[in-house]
Amino acid sequence: MTIDQFKKIKIEDSPGVYFFQKEKDILYIGKATSLKERVKSYFSTDLIKTRGMLLVDMVAKADSIKFQKTNSVLEALLLETELIKKNHPYYNTKEKDDKSYSYIEITEEEFPMVHIVRGRNVENLKTDNYYGPFLSTIQLRAALKIIRRLFPYRDDKCLLGKHKPCFNYTIGLCPGTCVDKISVKEYKKQIEKIKLFLSGNTDKVLKILFKEMSELAKEKEFEKAALIRNKIYALNHINDISLINREPTENDVRIEAYDIAHMSGKNMIGVMVVQVNGQFLKHEYKKFIIRGQETADDGRALYEVLTRRFKHDEWGMPDIVVTDGNQIQLGIAQKFFQNSVSIVKDKRHKAREVLNGEILKEKNVTEDDIIKINAEAHRFAIGFFRDKLRKSAFK
Q: What is the pLDDT of residue 270?
A: 94
Question: Which CATH number goes with the domain that contains 356?
Answer: 3.30.420.340
pLDDT cut 70: percent of the chain above it: 90
Phi, psi of 327 (to 5 degrees): -60, -30
Whether 7 maps to a domain, the answer reads: yes
Question: Which CATH number goes with the domain that contains 13?
Answer: 3.40.1440.10
Is the confidence at residue 356, as pLDDT, over 80?
yes
Whether 280 maps to a domain, the answer reads: yes
pLDDT digits (tens, 9 = 90+) for 153-185: 998 888 887 788 999 998 999 999 999 999 999
Higher pLDDT pick, 238 / 173? 173
Residues 239 and 105 both lie in one domain? yes
Whether 249 maps to a domain, the answer reads: no
Confidence of residue 340 (pLDDT cuts 50, 70, 90): very high
CA distance 151 to 92: 31
Higher pLDDT pick, 43 / 395? 43
Tell me how far CA of residue 258 lies from CA of 244, 288, 309, 364, in angstroms: 30, 10, 10, 21
Structural domain count, the chain? 3
Is the confidence at residue 283, as pLDDT, over 50?
yes
- Polymer length of the chain: 395
Higher pLDDT pick, 121 / 88? 88
Residues 283 and 374 both lie in one domain? yes
pLDDT digits (tens, 9 = 90+) for 58-76: 999 999 999 999 988 888 8
Residues 267 and 388 both lie in one domain? yes
Residues 143 and 204 both lie in one domain? yes
Mean pLDDT of 95-123: 77
Confidence of residue 128 (pLDDT cuts 50, 70, 90): confident
Residues 259 and 239 both lie in one domain? no
Mean pLDDT of 322-327: 90
Q: What is the pLDDT of residue 182?
A: 93
Residues 212 and 148 both lie in one domain? yes
Confidence of residue 244 (pLDDT cuts 50, 70, 90): very low
Whether 387 maps to a domain, the answer reads: yes
Query: Do 355 and 341 meet the contact criterion of CB atoms below 8 Å apart?
Result: yes
Secondary structure (3-state) at 263: strand
Whether 12 maps to a domain, the answer reads: yes
pLDDT digits (tens, 9 = 90+) for 202-235: 889 999 999 999 999 998 888 889 888 888 887 8
User: H helices of the chain, where?
Assistant: 3-7, 35-40, 47-50, 53-61, 73-87, 90-95, 137-150, 167-170, 184-198, 202-218, 222-236, 241-244, 298-309, 327-336, 367-393
Burial class (CB in 10 A: 0-12, 13-18, 19+), 191: buried
Phi, psi of 268 (to 5 degrees): -70, 135
CA distance 38 to 30: 9
Query: Where in the sequence is the domain holding 305, given as residue range(s)?
Result: 254-393
Residues 214 and 270 both lie in one domain? no
Domain stop point among 186, 219, 244: 244
